[in-house]
Amino acid sequence: TDPVILFAPSVARYAPMEPAILHDLLKLNKRKKLSRKIQFLVRLHPNDYREKQNRWDFIKKDFPDVTFLHGMSQETKAKSFISTEEDIKSLVNCVYHASIIINTGSTITIEACRTNTPSINIGYNEDQIEGANTLTSDIYKREHLRPLVRFKGAPIAYSKNDLISYINEYLENPSKDKIKRYQTAKFYD
């Protein structure tokens, strides 16, 4: 079977460039420009699909075979949403069985370190979406992510070429950076 990349986006206000980056990756995959054919799975941030539902529509149209999952599916009486037991099982399965996880400043990277799943953080905005450059560079300065950067539990891709290079490296050698992931997980423990 094809390796699975779990694309785990943030919310639109923090990472508006993510749909464009995913679209680029899907096009590269379709044209066989990555080292192996990949199956993509998108696990939306619990607030993403409520905040700006249409930001993923062009991907669903261009790549209908890509599966989108939601993180919090149960609506409360107060009109907020919480995770069900099935949502949590889905998250665990996605992280555990993914070959690589790609995200922008998400704590899912810490979960990836705990399961020794290679993870790549997005740190660029090639499409120059307004406000995204500052956000993508500043998000890794936040206190909960600074140790991740310090221990190098997941590389930060500062360009599309970086992202492609990291994907290909992890597809060829999934154990690359295993010790860094272990040290990162140990710190957060």
Summarised one tens digit per residue, pLDDT across range 45-54 is 877 755 556 8
Q: Is the pLDDT of residue 117 over 90?
A: yes
pLDDT confidence of residue 43? 92
- H/E run at residue 42: strand 39-43
Average pLDDT in the 127-136 region? 58
What pLDDT is stored for residue 189 in this prediction? 84
Three-state DSSP class for 101? strand
Q: Are 74 and 81 in contact (CB under 8 A)?
A: yes
Burial class (CB in 10 A: 0-12, 13-18, 19+), 70: middle
- Of 24, 41, 42, nearest in space to 33 by CA: 24
- Tell me what the pLDDT averaged over the chain comes to: 86
Assign residue 152 a region: left if phi > 0, alpha if psi is -120 to 50, beta otherwise?
A: left
